[in-house]
Amino acid sequence: MRRSSSSESVIKAYSIPIHPDEFLLKFIEDYHELAKTVLEEILNAERFTKVERKQLRDKLLEEWEYASHYIDSAINQMLGLVKSYKRKLKKGKKASKPRLRKKFVYVKSTLITLNGPVLSVRIIAGKYYLRINLEDYPYIRPLLRELLDGRVKLAGLFLFPDRIVLNFKKSVEYFEPVDWMSIDVNLTNVTVLAGLTVYRFDTRELYHIHRAYELKRRRIQRISKWNKKLSEELLRKYSRREGNRVRDFLHKLANKIVWIAYRNRMGIILENLRGIKEGLKGSKEFNRKISKWNARELQRLIEYKAKWLGVPVIYVNPRNSSKVCPACGGWLIPQEGRLMKCLKCGLVEDRDFIAVLNLRMWGVRGSPERVGGFKSMKTNPYGVMAVEKQRIGLKFYKIPLKPP
Ligand SMILES: [Zn+2]
């Protein structure tokens, strides 16, 4: 089990579409050429110490009309690429020679200034700046106040021909949770236990998206016999669209879940899916593949969004979480529908609910907040609640099929 430490530096990225003029496009092009040259030089150099670095920098500066910082950026960026390539080679791993595929410029924070909500990126000092008013982007507005009063810093940005990606940095203090909520990810739903409330988010929409694109892909593959180029183009287009729709859905879902935790001052317990070979309760190969991908992606988003808000996150081993009775520890056998029955105490309960109950208990058992011991009902009221949830008023919320 790992736990986020009490304070941490967290990065959050935002993408903004841009419509660059000729000049900016040429700049991106020139930077790309510069970076390629730098990469070649570093790869071909027998050694690349401070001396060689300075020589290369001076040589490149002669024909560089833009801010000189970009040359340093290019050298740093390419050094990083070459280093990781050489590291792989050293370990005997297969590694292809680094190449520059995408055209983009990394802009250091020293080249960016903020005047109120207006961002200025220095391309040529005193001559050319790229200006963006952050107030024009509703999804950045909530961040703007924190940015203006210095709680959030701009850590640099990536400039692409069609968009910029801003990296915001914040030093986050994790709050001391009053309780922990657990999350169980299944093929058709995500179940969340938060205090006395169970939320069940319907995720069949995700399955339908994947399924629809899978069928499209199969049809396109037939085209490939007579037009390979066209079919490849279409495949790329459709997987991009599929990815966008899925990511959009998962983002919204993660926002909802993290918000529940934040509002209730609860920490989050996630299943540690690493090293788990068996799929998530889906039988077919296709289901297994997508459910695993979705689950991991959702967890990644939850953790990332939680961190940003200072919500602590822990992981527990989910092994047998829907097979062991949360009330007595007995073995469960499947009944009709999604019900499970305990062979020892007779409890009959929904399997997703059982899973979140177990995750909640196991998570708290190992967490530092637990002082009174596992038997203490204060931190673990669910052994009783599983049986008596009606009486004590445990609420179930079913979240409908629409994207959250
Ligand atoms: Zn039992």
CA of 324 to the centre of ligand 1 (A): 8
Distance between alpha carbon 382 and the CA centroid of its chain, in Å? 31
pLDDT of residue 138: 87
Distance, in Å, from the CA atom of 2 to the CA atom of 310, rounded to the nearest integer, reads 16
Sign of the Cα torsion 11, 17, 21, 26 reads positive
Q: Which residues pair with 348 in a beta bridge?
A: 341
Predicted confidence (pLDDT) at residue 368 exceeds the cutoff of 70: no
CA of 386 to the centre of ligand 1 (A): 10
CA of 369 to the centre of ligand 1 (A): 26
- Neighbour order of strands in the sheet with 118-124: 112-115, 118-124, 128-133
Cβ burial, residue 395 (10 Å; 0-12/13-18/19+): exposed
Query: What is the residue whose two structure tokens read 């000049």?
Result: 23
CA of 364 to the centre of ligand 1 (A): 20
CA of 343 to the centre of ligand 1 (A): 7
Average pLDDT over residues 141-162: 91
pLDDT of residue 276: 55
CA of 332 to the centre of ligand 1 (A): 8
Report whether 275 contacts 326 (CB < 8 A).
Answer: no
Report long-range pairs for 117-124 (Cβ below 8 Å, ≥24 apart): 117/144, 117/148, 119/154, 119/166, 121/157, 121/159, 122/67, 123/23, 123/24, 123/27, 123/66, 123/67, 124/65, 124/66, 124/67
Predicted confidence (pLDDT) at residue 367 exceeds the cutoff of 50: no
CA of 350 to the centre of ligand 1 (A): 13
Q: What one-letter code names the amino acid at 143?
A: L
Between 54-58, 107-111, 156-160, 272-276, the lowest mean confidence (pLDDT) is in 272-276
CA of 378 to the centre of ligand 1 (A): 20
Query: What is the residue whose two structure tokens read 């008013």?
Result: 133
CA of 339 to the centre of ligand 1 (A): 13
Which parts of 149-203 fold into alpha helices (H)? none
pLDDT of residue 308: 92
